[in-house]
């Protein structure tokens, strides 16, 4: 991931973002192979949702107009992919807790580290909030949940753009290896 990380379990020294691995207070040097796979799997699923999500929007509009749920392949895929993203988000959070994440680059300013943490936190919140709001909208016919779902999509796009921009800036302008950390597993 780009700049920074979310806090993980406390190590023996009481600091967040480091794990005790084979000794007192060794920092995690990189992401695990599974963390990397899950990151890119979620990214791919999110892209698919955006490419084919209009089919669900159309079906939801008909549902709100007629009171009857129209089911199609696109609706089924949207629901299945949304549920998959939700499951993978919790899996990713579990791995963050168990494995930890690399510490922020010491060259990053405190403001950059804070911004990265806010972006990462927002991405994780939205990986849960979008599927949940979508499920509520579809299962309850809730216009409020549908409105939240639509608003969350806009915020997700903005956070993804910031996340990608920070990763590319770190990799190609600052040359700090930010993107490489999410391409090559630790160890």
- Is residue 131 in some structural domain? yes
- Is residue 45 in some structural domain? yes
pLDDT by position in tens, the chain (length 187): 443 444 444 333 333 444 433 333 346 888 999 999 999 999 999 999 999 888 898 899 999 999 898 888 999 999 999 999 999 999 999 999 999 998 888 888 999 999 999 999 999 999 999 999 999 999 999 999 999 999 999 999 999 999 999 999 999 998 888 888 899 887 6
Helix, strand or coil for residue 57? helix
- Is residue 69 in some structural domain? yes
- Is residue 12 in some structural domain? no
Total domain count, the chain: 1
Please state the length of the chain. Answer: 187
Structural domain containing residue 148: 33-181
Write down the pLDDT at residue 187: 64
- Is residue 18 in some structural domain? no
Write down the pLDDT at residue 50: 92
DSSP 75-142: HHHHHHHHHHHHHHHHHHHHHHHHH--PPPPTTS-HHHHHHHHHHHHHHHHHHHHHHHHHHHHHHHT-
- Is residue 187 in some structural domain? no
Token pair in block for residue 167: 């990763």
- Is residue 27 in some structural domain? no
- Is residue 7 in some structural domain? no
Q: First vs last Cα of the chain: how many Å apart? A: 17
């Amino acid at each position: 991931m780009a700049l920074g990380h979310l806090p993980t379990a406390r190590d023996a020294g009481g600091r967040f973002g480091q794990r005790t691995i084979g000794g007192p207070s060794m920092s995690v040097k990189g992401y695990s192979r599974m963390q990397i796979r899950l990151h890119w799997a979620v990214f791919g699923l999110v892209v698919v949702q955006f490419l084919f999500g209009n089919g669900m929007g159309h079906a939801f509009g008909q549902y709100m107009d007629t009171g009857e749920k129209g089911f199609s392949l696109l609706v089924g895929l949207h629901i299945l992919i949304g549920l998959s993203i939700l499951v993978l988000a919790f899996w990713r959070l579990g791995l963050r807790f168990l494995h930890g994440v690399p510490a922020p680059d010491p060259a990053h300013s405190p403001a950059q580290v804070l911004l990265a943490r806010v972006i990462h936190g927002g991405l994780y919140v939205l990986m849960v909030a979008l599927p949940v709001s979508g499920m509520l909208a579809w299962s309850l016919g809730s216009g409020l949940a549908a409105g939240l779902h639509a608003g969350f999509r806009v915020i997700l796009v903005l956070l993804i753009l910031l996340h990608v921009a920070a990763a590319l800036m770190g990799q190609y302008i600052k040359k700090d290896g930010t993107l490489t950390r999410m391409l090559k597993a630790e160890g």
